[in-house]
Amino acid sequence: MTTIRKPVRVLALGLIAGLLWGFPLASSAEASPLWHVNGKLLEEPEATLSHATESSLTIPGLTTSCKPFVYKMTISGSTGSVTSVPLSNCFTNVKACTVASIKAQKLPWSAKLVTVETSNYLVIEGINLAILYAGEECVLSETTVEVTGSAGGLYDNATESVTFSAATISATKTSLKALGAAIDWTGVFTMLTTGLRIGESLTVS
C-alpha cells in the first residue's frame, strides 16, 4: 500500500483548502459597487434623470454639442437601463455644418457600475446615436453618422454627478466610434432621482 508522506499530505490539504476558500474570496473582491439612496441600498428600480448643461461628441475634425444633453435611466443594485435620450438644440463647431437631427436608437441601453482601482464608474453599453448633418458646404452634408459603442463615466458622490471624458473612457476600457474612428464624449451630468424617491441623495459604494 502506498502511503502519502506527511509533508506532502499537508501540502495537498492546504491546496484543497485554498481552492475551497479562495473562490468565494475572489468573488467578494470583485463585487460591483451599488447604488444607494439616502445611504440605503437601492434594491427596487428608481427612475433618474442625468442632465448636463452642455455635452459634446467629437468626431475627428467635427465636434457636436447639445444644450442641454439629457438621458433618463432606471437604476437598482449595481445596474441600470437608459430608457430615453431626448436631445435638442444641437450644433457643431464648424460654421458650414449644422445638425439637422440627432436621435438615440436601439433603446434601452444597458448600464452597470464598476470599480477601477479606488474609483467608481458608470458604464453605459450599447450606445447608438444617429446624427444627420446639413449645410451646402459641409463635408458631411446629408450624411447620417452613427455613433456606437460604450462609455464609462466617473461617479462623484459629493456632487452626485457622472463625468465622461477621454480619461474616464480610457480608464474603463470602453470606446465610442463613428465613421470608423474613435471619438470622445465629454460632459458632467448631475443625476437626480425622479421616481418614488424623488430628490433624495444618490451615492455609489
Same domain for 21 and 97? no
Contact 47, 195 (CB under 8 A): yes
pLDDT of residue 116: 97
State the average pLDDT for the chain. Answer: 89
Residue 145: name the closest of 176, 179, 177 by CA. 179
C-alpha–C-alpha distance, residues 132 and 180, integer Å: 16
**The pLDDT of residue 17 is above 70:** no
C-alpha–C-alpha distance, residues 86 and 69, integer Å: 8
C-alpha cell at 15: 491546496
Same domain for 180 and 136? yes
Tell me what the mean pLDDT of segment 8-24 comes to.
44
**The pLDDT of residue 9 is above 80:** no
Residue 110: name the closest of 147, 59, 141, 151 by CA. 151
- Within 8 A by CB and 6+ apart from 143, the residues are 132, 133
C-alpha–C-alpha distance, residues 189 and 46, integer Å: 17
Q: What is the tally of structural domains in the chain?
A: 2
C-alpha–C-alpha distance, residues 122 and 168, integer Å: 10
Same domain for 89 and 21? no
Same domain for 77 and 26? no
Same domain for 141 and 127? yes
Same domain for 79 and 13? no
Same domain for 127 and 103? yes
N-term to C-term CA, the chain: 56
Confidence (pTM): 0.85
Same domain for 24 and 79? no
**The pLDDT of residue 10 is above 80:** no
C-alpha cell at 41: 441600498
Tell me what the mean pLDDT of segment 138-166 comes to.
97
Same domain for 126 and 50? yes
Domain range for 116: 35-204
Same domain for 121 and 106? yes
Task: Read off φ and ψ for residue 95, nearest 5 degrees.
Answer: -55, -35
Residue 35: name the closest of 24, 47, 53 by CA. 47
Same domain for 59 and 11? no
**The pLDDT of residue 162 is above 90:** yes
Same domain for 81 and 10? no
Tell me what the mean pLDDT of segment 93-99 comes to.
97
